[in-house]
Amino acid sequence: MYVIENYSVAVFLCLITMLCWGSWANTQKLSSQKWPFQLFYWDYSFGILIITVLLAFTMGSNGEMGRSFLVDLNQSETKYLGYALLGGIIFNFANILLVIAIDLAGMAIAFPVGIGIALVLGVITNFMYNPEGDPFILFTGVFFVMVAIILDALAYKYILKKQEKTPLKGILISLLAGIAMGFFYKYVAQSMSSDFVTPEIGKLTPYTALVVFAIGILISNVLFNTINMYKPIAGKPVAYKDYFSMGTPKLHLIGILGGAIWGLGMSFSIIASEQAGPAIAYGLGQGATMVAALWGVFIWKELKELPKSKNWLIATMFICFLVGLGLIIYSKVA
C-alpha cells in the first residue's frame, strides 16, 4: 500500500484535507434550492463510501509496504473494526447536528461554536493519545485559528438579520455537535496501527479504517437521517419516496461529488497522520473553516453587505489563520 515517508508530504496532504473539508459544502449549496438537505445527505454518504473503497483497492492494495486492503480486512480484530465504525457513527451524528444548528442559529453562531469546540477538543484528545509536536507551539497555533473563526463569526453577524430572541436551541445543538465532532477522529486513529509500514497484527491500516468508517456513516444514517427526514428539528419533513421522485441524475451526482470531496480529505488526513501525528493532522484539517470563508467571501459574495468600516475583520481573520496554520505545521519540527 502507499505510505507517506516524510513530514513535508504529510503536511501537503493535510492542506489538501483542509481544502476538501472547506469546499464540499459548495455542492450542497448548488443543490439546496431544488433538493432538501436530508436527501442530499444520502448521496453525500454514498460518495464518502465510494471514494474510500476506490482508494482501498488502488493506493491501499498496491506497493510493497504494509498490508493490502483485503488481507488487512481479513486479519482485523473486531475491537479495532469497532473503533473505526464508532468513529463514523460519531462523525455522522455530529455532522447532521451541525447542519441543523446552522439552519436554526445561522452560520455566524453555529459554525464557530461547533467547529471551534471540535478543533480544541479534537487536538487535545488526539494529542493525549499520540503526543506529536511541541505542545506550546501547537496549542498557540490552535488559539490563532480559534481567533480567526471568531472574527469570521463577527463579520457574518453584521450582515445577518436581527433576531427577536436568542436562538438558544441552535446554540445548544451547536455545542453538542462540536463536542461529538471533537471525538470522532480519535476513534479512527485508535483503530489503526501506529506503524503503517509494518502494521501491528489485529489493528487496521488506514485504508481499511477509512472504509469501515464510511460504513459507520452509512449505517448510522438509517437512524439519524431517517429521524431528520420525518421529524426534522428545522425545515419541512421529507419521505424516502421523495429521494426517487424529486432527485435527478444531476442532483444525485452533485451529492455524491460532495461526499467524495469530503471523503478524499478525510482519507488524506488519516494517511498523513503517521508522519504528522493525529493532533496536527486533525488541527490542520479543521482550518477548513477559513477555506469555507474564502468561498463565501470571493465566490458566493456572502459578505458583500459588510460595512467598509468592518473590512478589517476579514483581513485580520486571514492573518490569524495563516499564523495559526504556520504554528501548527512548525510544532512538529520545533
User: What pLDDT was estimated at residue 111?
Assistant: 72
In a domain, 324, yes or no: no
In a domain, 291, yes or no: no
The answer to whether residue 107 sits within a structural domain is: yes
pLDDT recorded at residue 257:
97
Q: Number of structural domains, the chain?
A: 1
Answer yes or no: is pLDDT of 167 > 80: no
List pLDDT tens digits, range 238-285. Answer: 999 999 999 999 999 999 999 999 999 999 999 999 999 999 999 998
Handedness of CA 55, 61, 64, 65 (dihedral sign): positive
Residue 221 banded pLDDT, cuts 50, 70, 90: very high
Task: Decide if 63 is inside a domain.
Answer: yes
Q: Which of 56-65, 112-121, 219-228 has the lowest mean pLDDT?
A: 112-121
What are 27-53's pLDDT values in tens digits?
Answer: 988 888 789 989 999 999 999 999 999
Q: CB of 148 within 8 A of CB of 321?
A: yes
Rounded CA gap, 327 and 144, in Å? 9
In a domain, 246, yes or no: yes
Q: Which amino acid is at 334?
A: A
Q: Residue 163: pLDDT above 50?
A: no
pLDDT in tens, 97-120: 988 887 776 666 677 778 778 888
From 31-45, 75-89, 120-134, 154-168, the region with the lowest mean pLDDT:
154-168
> Whole domain around residue 246: which residue ranges?
9-138+164-282
Q: What is the mean pLDDT of residues 69-75?
A: 97
Is 315 part of a structural domain of the chain?
no
Provide mean pLDDT across the span 291-316: 81
Span 301-325, mean pLDDT? 85
Tell me the HSE value of 277 on the side-chain side, using a 13 A CA sphere.
24
pLDDT of residue 148: 86
- Is 270 among the domain residues? yes
What pLDDT score was predicted for residue 162?
45
Q: Would you say residue 158 lies in a domain?
A: no
Least confident of 74-78, 107-111, 177-181, 265-269: 107-111
- pLDDT of 262-272, one tens digit each? 999 999 999 99
User: Is the confidence at residue 164, as pLDDT, over 70?
Assistant: no
Per-residue model confidence (pLDDT) at position 108? 61
pLDDT at 151 exceeding the cut of 60: yes
pLDDT at 74 over 70: yes
Q: What is the pLDDT at residue 106? A: 64
Q: What is the DSSP letter of 203?
A: S
